[in-house]
C-alpha cells in the first residue's frame, strides 16, 4: 500500500468515525464501543480490499452505525439518510434492515448468522464460476454461537477461498470478557484445526490489515483474520470496558472527537 | 425433483445428511448442485438463503422437525424476512416417523411455518400431489415448506393439486382435513354421508363459498389433522368461519394431542391413540353424528 492509498484510508476512517459518532450523539444511543472497535476493519474492507460485486456481511449487526457511515462515505447513503438513524420512519434502525439498502444484502443483529450468509455467497459464486468474494466481519462474542462453527466447518470442507472471515477480537462480549464467559483462546489454534489459513492483524492499523490481505491472495485454503482490536477505542474513559457497549456518550462526545482527530493527525504524520 | 432439474438450472438440492437408499439418483442428477450440508441445519438454512439471494432455488431436505423447528430463527430472519425462494422439504410430518419417537415427529410444523412472513406451507394429500406441489413451489418466488408423508389411498377421485379440493358431497356434516390422515375418514363407512374437503396450502386466505354453504346447511363441522389443533387447521379455520356462520355449529376437532400414554408405536398407532384413526376415530364420529 503506497502512502497515498494509506492516507486515503486514514481520511476515510476518520470521516466514518466522525460521522457515526455524530449519529450516536444525535440518537443518544449505545453500541458506540462496538463501532469504534470495527471502524478500521470495515473501512479497510470497503475501500481497500473489496471489488465491484463483492459483498460485506457485517455479522455483528449491533455495529450498524459503522456500516451506515461507510455506505455514506461511499455515496450509497446520503447525509440526509444518516440523519434518520434511530428515528421513527427510518430504514436506519439500530441493526441493519431487511431488503432496503444497497450494500446490506442481509439484515443482521441476531448473532451467528453472518458466516453462514458468507458461506452461501461463497458456494453460489463457486457454482456460477464468478470471481467474487464474500467478506464476513464477526465479533468474537458471537463465536459462542454454534452456527458460526457449523459455517466454519462448511467453508473449510468446501474450501471456499472466496470467503474471507475477519474477527473483531476485542475480547469483550455482552456481559463480561470473552475469556471469562466462554473462553475462546487459543482461537488461532481452533481455527487452524478447522482448516483455515489463520492470520492475525492489528485491527486498527491499515498497514497491518494490508499485510494480512496480501497473505490471503496466495492461500490455498479459506482465511480467517483475527483482528486484535480495542472495544471503545478512542473513548478513553471506557476503552476496553463493557460500558462502551451500552452507554451513550453524552458529554464525552467532544473528548472522543478530539481523540480521533489527534490519532488521525498522528497517523498521517507517520505515513508521511 | 429429477423431472424438473433439466428445465430449472437454478435448482440446488441440499440434504441434511439424509437420503440413504433414497436420494442417490437425485445426487447423480444434480451433480455439483447436490450438496450435503451435514448435520448442521442452522448453517444450511442461512447458507441456502444466501444462495437464493444469488439466484439459486435451494431445496433443503431433512426429517421434518430438523428442517423446520431446529433452524427456526434462520428460516424467519434469512429466508422469510428477506422473502427468498428457499424450499424446505420435511419428511414425516405428524407421526410419520412412528416408532422413531417424539424427537422425530412434528405436530407443530404447520402452525410454526404458516406464522412466518411470506411463507407458504404445502401439504400433499396423495402421492400424486407431490410432483404437482413441487411444480407450484418452483413457480412461487417465496419461501415454502413441503410437508411429506405417505400418500393417502382412497376410493374417491381426487382433483389436481390445489389449496382447496372437494373430495365428495354429503349431507350429515362437513369434514375438512389436511394431509393423508384424512384418508382415515374417507375410508370409513361414515364417509358416504359426509361432505369432505381437503386443504393443502397454508396460510388460508379465505374459504370457498360452497364450503361455507355446506357448513351452514349441516351445522356440523369435523376437522382432522395430524398436527396440534392449536396453531393448526382447527385454529385457522375457526378464525375464517367466524364471519360466515348463519347460526352456531357443532365442531369435532380431531387433532394430534401428543403422547397421552407416553408410549410409542408406528404412525397408525399414534393416530389411533389420538382418535385420528382406528376405534377411537369411529367412536368419536359415531358420537358426533348421532
pLDDT lower than 50: segments of chain B = none
- Tell me the count of A-B CB pairs closer than 8 A: 91
Distance in angstroms (rounded) separating the CA atoms of residues B121 and B102: 22
Placement of cell 470478557 in the chain: A177
Q: Which residues of A touch B73 (CB under 8 A)?
A: 110
CA dihedral A231→A233→A237→A240, nearest 10 degrees, is 30
Closest CB to B47 among A105, A120, A127? A120
Distances (CA, A) of B289 to A126, A155, B264: 61, 59, 30
pLDDT tens-digit profile of B87-109?
999 999 999 999 999 999 999 99
- Could you give the angle at which helices A3-27 and A253-271 cross, rounded to 10 degrees? 180
Kindly determine whether residue A147 and residue B47, on different chains, have CB atoms separated by under 8 Å: no
SS3 content of chain A, % helix, strand, coil (to 5): 50, 10, 35
Distance in angstroms (rounded) separating the CA atoms of residues A4 and A16: 18
C-beta separation of B68 from B88 below 8 A? yes
Rounded to a whole number, what is the distance in Å from the CA of A41 to chain B's nearest CA? 23
Closest-CA residue of chain A to B79:
A106
Distance in angstroms (rounded) separating the CA atoms of residues A161 and A226: 16
Residue B239 is predicted with a pLDDT of 93
Placement of cell 347460526 in the chain: B247
**What does CATH list as the number for B164-289?**
3.40.50.920
Kindly determine whether residue A146 and residue B42, on different chains, have CB atoms separated by under 8 Å: yes
Q: What is the DSSP pairing of strand A223-228 with strand A197-202? A: parallel
Q: What is the DSSP pairing of strand A197-202 with strand B194-199? A: unpaired
Distances (CA, A) of B132 to B122, B135, B151: 10, 5, 13
What are the phi and psi torsion angles at B164 (to 5°)? -120, 130
Name the nearest CA neighbour of B249 among B286, B282, B275, B212. Answer: B212
Distance in angstroms (rounded) separating the CA atoms of residues B48 and B260: 37
Closest CB to B38 among A120, A124, A154? A154
pLDDT lower than 50: segments of chain A = none
Please give the ipTM for the structure prediction.
0.96
Q: Which residues of A touch B118 (CB under 8 A)?
A: none
For residue A128, how many C-alpha atoms fall within 13 Å in the half-sphere facing its CB?
A: 18
pLDDT tens-digit profile of A5-28?
999 999 999 999 999 999 999 999
Rounded to a whole number, what is the distance in Å from the CA of A124 to chain B's nearest CA? 5
Residue B92 is predicted with a pLDDT of 96
Kindly determine whether residue B50 and residue A116, on different chains, have CB atoms separated by under 8 Å: yes
Closest CB to A151 among B43, B54, B82? B43
Helix (H, G, I), strand (E, B) or coil at B132: helix
Among B31, B45, B46, B72, the strongest candidate for a mutation testing the A interface, having the largest count of A CBs within 10 A, is B46
| CATH code, A50 | 3.40.50.970
Closest CB to A120 among B46, B77, B83? B46
Distance in angstroms (rounded) separating the CA atoms of residues A256 and A236: 7
Number of domains in chain A: 1
Closest-CA residue of chain B to A54:
B54
Distances (CA, A) of A40 to A51, A199, A264: 18, 17, 12
DSSP state of A31: -
Helix (H, G, I), strand (E, B) or coil at B200: coil
C-beta separation of A233 from A37 below 8 A? yes
Residue B147, beta-bridge partner list:
B90
Rounded to a whole number, what is the distance in Å from the CA of A204 to chain B's nearest CA? 29
Residue A100 is predicted with a pLDDT of 81
Q: Sign (positive/negative) of CA torsion B90, B96, B102, B108?
A: positive
Residue A137 is predicted with a pLDDT of 98
Domain boundaries, chain B: 2-148, 164-289
Distances (CA, A) of B146 to A272, B91, B136, B179: 62, 8, 11, 11
Q: Which residues of A touch B12 (CB under 8 A)?
A: 127
Rounded to a whole number, what is the distance in Å from the CA of A141 to chain B's nearest CA? 18
Q: Which residues of B touch A153 (CB under 8 A)?
A: 38, 40, 43
Kindly determine whether residue A124 and residue B46, on different chains, have CB atoms separated by under 8 Å: no
Is the domain B2-148 a CATH 3.40.50.970 member? yes
Q: Which residues of A touch B35 (CB under 8 A)?
A: 123
CA dihedral B266→B125→B37→B58, nearest 10 degrees, is 180
Closest-CA residue of chain A to B54:
A124
C-beta separation of B271 from B237 below 8 A? no
Kindly determine whether residue A116 and residue B46, on different chains, have CB atoms separated by under 8 Å: yes
Closest CB to A105 among B53, B56, B73? B53
Rounded to a whole number, what is the distance in Å from the CA of B183 to chain A's nearest CA? 40
Q: Which residues of B touch A147 (CB under 8 A)?
A: 42-43, 46, 74
Q: Sign (positive/negative) of CA torsion B127, B131, B137, B139?
A: negative
Closest CB to A147 among B43, B51, B83? B43
| Full DSSP string of A25-90 | HHHT-S-HHHHHHHHHHHHHHHHHT--TT-EEEES-GGGHHHHHHHHHHTTSS-HHHHTTTTSTT-
Q: Which residues of A touch B43 (CB under 8 A)?
A: 116, 119, 147, 150-151, 153-154
Kindly determine whether residue A120 and residue B33, on different chains, have CB atoms separated by under 8 Å: no
Helix (H, G, I), strand (E, B) or coil at B242: coil
Helix (H, G, I), strand (E, B) or coil at A176: strand
pLDDT tens-digit profile of B153-206?
999 999 999 999 999 999 999 999 999 999 999 999 999 999 999 999 999 999
Closest-CA residue of chain B to A149:
B43
DSSP state of B155: S
Residues of A contacting chain B (CB within 8 angstroms): 98-99, 105-107, 110, 112-113, 116-121, 123-125, 127-128, 146-147, 150-151, 153-154, 157
Host domain of residue A170:
3-271
Residue A127, classified by CB atoms within 10 Å of its CB into exposed (0-12), middle (13-18) or buried (19+), is: middle
Q: What is the DSSP pairing of strand A197-202 with strand A55-58? A: unpaired
Amino acid at each position: 500500500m503506497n502512502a497515498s492509498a494509506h492516507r486515503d484510508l486514514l481520511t476515510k476512517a476518520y470521516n466514518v468515525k466522525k460521522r457515526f459518532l455524530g449519529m450516536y450523539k444525535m440518537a443518544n444511543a449505545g453500541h458506540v464501543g462496538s463501532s469504534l472497535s470495527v471502524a478500521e476493519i470495515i473501512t479497510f474492507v470497503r475501500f481497500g480490499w473489496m471489488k465491484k460485486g463483492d459483498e460485506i456481511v457485517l455479522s455483528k449487526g449491533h455495529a450498524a452505525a459503522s456500516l451506515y457511515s461507510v455506505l455514506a462515505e461511499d455515496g450509497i447513503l446520503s447525509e440526509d439518510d444518516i440523519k434518520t438513524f434511530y428515528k421513527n420512519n427510518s430504514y436506519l434502525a439500530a441493526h441493519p434492515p431487511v431488503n432496503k439498502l444497497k450494500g446490506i444484502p442481509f439484515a443482521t443483529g441476531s448473532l451467528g448468522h453472518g458466516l453462514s450468509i458468507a458461506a452461501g455467497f461463497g458456494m453460489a459464486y463457486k457454482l456460477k464460476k464468478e470471481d467474487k468474494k464474500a467478506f464476513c466481519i464477526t465479533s468474537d462474542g458471537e463465536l459462542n454461537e454454534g452456527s458460526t462453527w457449523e459455517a466454519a466447518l462448511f467453508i473449510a470442507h468446501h474450501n471456499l477461498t472466496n470467503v474471507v472471515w475477519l474477527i473483531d477480537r476485542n475480547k469483550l462480549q455482552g456481559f463480561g470478557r470473552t475469556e471469562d464467559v466462554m473462553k475462546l483462546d487459543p482461537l488461532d489454534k481452533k481455527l487452524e484445526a478447522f482448516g483455515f489459513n489463520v492470520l492475525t492483524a492489528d485491527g486498527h492499523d491499515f498497514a497491518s490489515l494490508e499485510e494480512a490481505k496480501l497473505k490471503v491472495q496466495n492461500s490455498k485454503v479459506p482465511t480467517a483474520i483475527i483482528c486484535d482490536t480495542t472495544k471503545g477505542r478512542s473513548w478513553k474513559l471506557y476503552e476496553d470496558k463493557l460500558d462502551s457497549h451500552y452507554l451513550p456518550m453524552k458529554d464525552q462526545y467532544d473528548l472522543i472527537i478530539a481523540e480521533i482527530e489527534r490519532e488521525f493527525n498522528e497517523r498521517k504524520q507517520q505515513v508521511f | 425433483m429429477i423431472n424438473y432439474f433439466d428445465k430449472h438450472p437454478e435448482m440446488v438440492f441440499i440434504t441434511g445428511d439424509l437420503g440413504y437408499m433414497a436420494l442417490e439418483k437425485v445426487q447423480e442428477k444434480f451433480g455439483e448442485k447436490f450438496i450435503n450440508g451435514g448435520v448442521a441445519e442452522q448453517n444450511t438454512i442461512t447458507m441456502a438463503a444466501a444462495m437464493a439471494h444469488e439466484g439459486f432455488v435451494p431445496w433443503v431436505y431433512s426429517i421434518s422437525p430438523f428442517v423446520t423447528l431446529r433452524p427456526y430463527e434462520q428460516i424467519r430472519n434469512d429466508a422469510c424476512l428477506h422473502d427468498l425462494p428457499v424450499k424446505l422439504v420435511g419428511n414425516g410430518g405428524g407421526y410419520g416417523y412412528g416408532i422413531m419417537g417424539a424427537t422425530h415427529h412434528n405436530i407443530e410444523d404447520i402452525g410454526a411455518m404458516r406464522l412466518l412472513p411470506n411463507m407458504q406451507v404445502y401439504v400433499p394429500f396423495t402421492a400424486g400431489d407431490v410432483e404437482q406441489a413441487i411444480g407450484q413451489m418452483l413457480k412461487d418466488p417465496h419461501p415454502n415448506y413441503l410437508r411429506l408423508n405417505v400418500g393417502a389411498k382412497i376410493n374417491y377421485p381426487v382433483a389436481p393439486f390445489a389449496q382447496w379440493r372437494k373430495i365428495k358431497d354429503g349431507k350429515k356434516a362437513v369434514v375438512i382435513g389436511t394431509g393423508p390422515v384424512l384418508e382415515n375418514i374417507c375410508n370409513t363407512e361414515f364417509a358416504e354421508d359426509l361432505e369432505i374437503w381437503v386443504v393443502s396450502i397454508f396460510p388460508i386466505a379465505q374459504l370457498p363459498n360452497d364450503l361455507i354453504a355446506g357448513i351452514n346447511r349441516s351445522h356440523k363441522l369435523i376437522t382432522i389433522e395430524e398436527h396440534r389443533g392449536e396453531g393448526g387447521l382447527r385454529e385457522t379455520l375457526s378464525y375464517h368461519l367466524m364471519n360466515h356462520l348463519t347460526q352456531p355449529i357443532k365442531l369435532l376437532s380431531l387433532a394430534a394431542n401428543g403422547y397421552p400414554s407416553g408410549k410409542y408405536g408406528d404412525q397408525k398407532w399414534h393416530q389411533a391413540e389420538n382418535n385420528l384413526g382406528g376405534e377411537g376415530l369411529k367412536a368419536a364420529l359415531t358420537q358426533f353424528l348421532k
